[in-house]
């Protein structure tokens, strides 16, 4: 009888910002880490105009190449004739693990068959459920998610998954270490060695170093052209040296928050902010700024509902002029919110603009024409549209100019991922045998210290056998 070996497959995310989906299996037990989708407005099928077919959305996304084509993941009824084994007909014992709540890491997890366990931290579950109630969540089947604890291993047959806590606030953020009878495979998730909890990434680095990691999938986001140019003024990776510190012209997360605080403090009129509404750390930051500076921090209804659910507070709510909030036709979540909030009106803001800190989404950016723009600032703090590569970003700029608000782009000298020198320091310290850079437009730029770099072919199965790693069907070690 042929003995089992560990098998590894990368389905997506090698040369995209996000969208990493990979599997590790031993026998008929399989773990899949991440089920997200890379964001690219230039190629997105669902561009805001194309609608999903409610009874065929999973089959449609398989046929359009959006969902990973993996056997044993989707319900038989959802395959729509697509040639994959269904979750009901498979011999695989599968579990899915999600590091954190960014869409490029979990946007597709709602398509997974309900009988397949999806591990998602309870904080992230709370946020996602609130988003789904408002229509801002991911498309999903009715399903439950399975909670997990930091540093408590989860067994799947002879596979063991160790969730490594990278951040304990907001949705909580993790990396995963998979141990098999043949060796170890690690996924960093989003690396950030300059966060306010950078010591957790340092501890992760030392843990991995001590374990002599065989294979490491590493976030290499910052090695793409635009970030290299922003950080160093060049793209020649040979000039990048391992360095745990933040580059001189860039900001740490703490410095980034201090810079945003100065923008808010220096604003004499209405201060408007646009943030990523999945980020409860950012919501908390703006709430604290409002309290510290004597401004009322008000949110649009959808964001306010998530804030209300997560923090269990009575938020201030500003209601845009939109049919979404028409009296007499309010959805259940909005009725609940209105019973647990304080409404802020346009008249109140117009009377004293400097007393408010107001959240605005791109969807409702025309609201700015009804608000006092004189001496006002629009703080773009990571919300949609994300950056210049998206045509919507230039449209946002045009509207702000016409509405009389000054744009303050808080991301100009800040990156929420580790800077290249920091990534290199992390990799060199851990020194894995096989380095798989991913989550990047230029993964080839991240090189190992002593090990070997592998840019795996997507959907190609590789074997990890007694610490040797090679393509399936080829007995030669890579």
| Residue 32: band (very low, low, confident or very high) from pLDDT cuts 50, 70, 90 | very high
**Under CATH, which number does the domain 6-227+416-471 receive?**
3.60.15.10
pLDDT digits (tens, 9 = 90+) for 52-61: 899 999 999 9
Extract the tokens encoding 343.
């409404």
Query: What pLDDT was estimated at residue 477?
Result: 44
Quick one: average pLDDT of 317-334? 92
**Under CATH, which number does the domain 253-409 receive?**
3.40.50.10710
Calpha distance 277→283 (Å, rounded): 8
In order of 161, 178, 451, 457, 473, the CA distances from 118 in angstroms are 13, 16, 32, 26, 31
Calculate what percentage of the chain has a pLDDT beyond 70: 97
pLDDT digits (tens, 9 = 90+) for 291-313: 999 999 999 999 999 999 999 99
Whether 42 has a pLDDT exceeding 80, the answer reads no
pLDDT digits (tens, 9 = 90+) for 142-164: 999 999 999 999 999 999 999 99
Q: What does the H/E/C string look like for the chain? A: CCCCCEEEEEEECCCCCCCCEEEEEECCEEEEECCCCCCCCCCCCCCCCCCCCCCCHHHHHHHCCCCCCCCCCCCHHHCCCCCCCCCCCCCCEEEEECCCCCHHHHCCHHHCCCCCCEECCHHHHHHHHHHHHHCCCCCCCCCCCECCCCCCCEEECCEEEEEEEEECCCCCEEEEEEEECCEEEEECCCCCCCCCCHHHHHHHHHHHHHHCCCEEEEECHHHCHHHHHHHHCCCCHHHCCCCCCCCCCCCCHHHHHHHHHHHHHHCCCCEEEEECCCCHHHHHHHHHHHHHHCCEEEECHHHHHHHHHHHCCCCEEECCCCHHHCCCCCCHHHHHHHCCCEEECHHHHHHCHHHEEEECCHHHHHHHHHCCCCCCEEEEEECCCCCCCCHHHHHHHHHHHHHCCEEEECCCCCCCCCCHHHHHHHHHHHCCCEEEEECCCCHHHCCCCCCEECCCCCCCEEEEECCEEEECCCCCCC
pLDDT digits (tens, 9 = 90+) for 403-438: 999 999 866 789 999 999 999 999 999 999 999 999
All CATH 3.40.50.10710 domain ranges in the chain, comma separated: 253-409
Whether 478 has a pLDDT exceeding 90, the answer reads no
All CATH 3.60.15.10 domain ranges in the chain, comma separated: 6-227+416-471
pLDDT digits (tens, 9 = 90+) for 243-275: 999 999 999 999 999 999 999 999 999 999 999
Length of the chain: 478
Query: What pLDDT was estimated at residue 43?
Result: 64
Whether 1 has a pLDDT exceeding 60, the answer reads no
| Residue 3: band (very low, low, confident or very high) from pLDDT cuts 50, 70, 90 | confident
Query: What pLDDT was estimated at residue 475?
Result: 47
pLDDT digits (tens, 9 = 90+) for 166-225: 999 999 999 999 999 999 999 999 999 999 999 999 999 999 999 999 999 999 999 999
């Amino acid at each position: 009888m042929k003995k089992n070996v560990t098998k590894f497959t990368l389905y997506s995310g090698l040369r995209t910002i996000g969208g990493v989906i990979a599997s590790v299996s031993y026998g008929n037990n399989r773990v899949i880490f991440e089920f997200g989708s890379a964001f690219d407005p230039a190629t997105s099928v669902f561009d805001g105009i194309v609608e999903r077919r409610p009874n065929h959305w999973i089959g449609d996304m398989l046929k359009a190449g959006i969902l990973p084509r993996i056997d044993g993941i989707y319900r038989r009824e959802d395959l729509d004739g697509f040639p994959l084994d269904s979750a009901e007909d498979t011999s695989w014992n599968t579990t899915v693990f999600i590091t954190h709540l960014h869409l490029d890491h979990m946007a597709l997890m709602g398509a997974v068959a309900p009988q397949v366990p999806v591990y998602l931290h309870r904080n992230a579950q709370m946020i996602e459920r609130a988003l789904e109630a408002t229509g801002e969540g991911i498309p999903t089947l009715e399903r439950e998610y399975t909670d997990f604890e930091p540093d408590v291993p989860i067994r799947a047959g002879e596979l063991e998954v160790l969730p490594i806590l990278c951040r304990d606030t907001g949705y909580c953020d993790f990396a995963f270490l998979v141990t098999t009878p043949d060796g170890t495979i690690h996924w960093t998730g989003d690396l950030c060695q300059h966060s306010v909890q950078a010591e957790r990434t340092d501890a992760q680095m030392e843990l991995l170093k001590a374990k002599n990691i065989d294979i490491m999938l590493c976030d290499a986001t910052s090695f793409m052209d635009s970030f290299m140019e922003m950080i160093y003024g060049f793209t020649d990776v040979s000039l990048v040296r391992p360095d745990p510190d933040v580059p001189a012209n860039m900001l740490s997360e703490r410095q980034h928050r201090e810079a945003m605080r100065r923008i808010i403090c220096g604003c004499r009129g209405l201060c408007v902010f646009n943030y990523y509404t999945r980020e409860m750390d950012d919501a908390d930051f703006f709430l604290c700024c409002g309290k510290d500076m004597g401004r009322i921090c008000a949110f649009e209804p959808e964001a306010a509902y998530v804030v209300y659910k997560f923090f269990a507070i009575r938020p201030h709510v500003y209601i845009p002029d939109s049919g979404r909030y028409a009296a007499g036709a309010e959805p259940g979540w909005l009725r609940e919110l209105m019973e647990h909030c304080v409404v802020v009106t346009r008249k109140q803001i117009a009377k004293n603009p400097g007393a408010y800190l107001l959240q605005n989404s791109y969807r409702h950016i025309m609201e700015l024409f009804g608000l006092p723009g004189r001496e006002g600032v629009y703080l773009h703090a990571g919300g949609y549209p994300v950056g210049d590569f998206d045509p919507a970003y230039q449209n946002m700029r045009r509207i702000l100019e016409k509405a009389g608000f000054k744009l303050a782009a808080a991301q100009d000298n800040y990156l929420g991922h580790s800077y290249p020198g920091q990534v290199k320091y992390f990799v060199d310290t851990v020194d894995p045998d096989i380095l798989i850079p991913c989550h990047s437009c230029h993964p080839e730029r991240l090189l190992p210290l002593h090990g070997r770099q592998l840019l795996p072919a997507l959907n190609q199965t590789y074997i990890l056998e007694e610490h040797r790693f090679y393509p399936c069907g080829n007995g030669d070690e890579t």
